[in-house]
Amino acid sequence: MRFLFLLFIVMPIVEITVLIKVGQIIGTWYTVGLVLLSAFIGVNMLRYQGLTTLSRAQQRLNAGEVPAREMVEGIVLAVGGALLVTPGFVTDVIGFCCLVPQIRQLVASTLIKRFTVVAMHHQHHSAFEDPDFQPGQRPDARHGDVIDGEYRREDD
């Protein structure tokens, strides 16, 4: 809830304040030019970084691996791209940080660890909350969705 408050209320106020201050220092048209220039440079950098990440994902798929890290990095790139096309200097700085490979990989690693811990936490709790759960049993098998058995084909 706090994050949404920060995102939709505080961030625009900060952006407007920074734009006004920069406009007072260097002038209105130079400020508009800088905002447009940063968006143009950011979109071109995003295109290059996105293609690089897509290429790495394709290589992992060809090797038979799941490109989880590349998928998370793609999400970080998408967020960075959205921030770069949003007018303002603060969002541009955050957006450019999403394009720096080392920062993006750090954010991706943090997100992967966080979601892995959350997923394991939920899986652990759901297993103990279900009285019919048997260790080693698949989650969908607890509710009768899977029928285990053997069969043998006999021709007439």
Q: What is the pTM of this model?
A: 0.66
Q: Is 139 within a domain? A: no
Residue 69: which domain range? Answer: 2-131
Q: Is the pLDDT of residue 122 over 60?
A: no
Q: How many CB atoms lie within 10 A of CB 130?
A: 13
The amino acid occupying position 70 is E
Share of the chain above pLDDT 70, in %: 79
Q: Is 149 within a domain? A: no
Helical (H) or strand (E) element with 29: helix 28-62
Number of domains in the chain: 1
Tokens of 146: 């899977």
pLDDT class of 136 with cuts at 50, 70, 90: low
pLDDT class of 90 with cuts at 50, 70, 90: very high
Residue 62: HSE in the Cβ half-sphere, 13 Å Cα cutoff:
6
Q: Which residue has the tokens 């002038």?
A: 27
Q: Is the pLDDT of residue 104 over 80?
A: yes
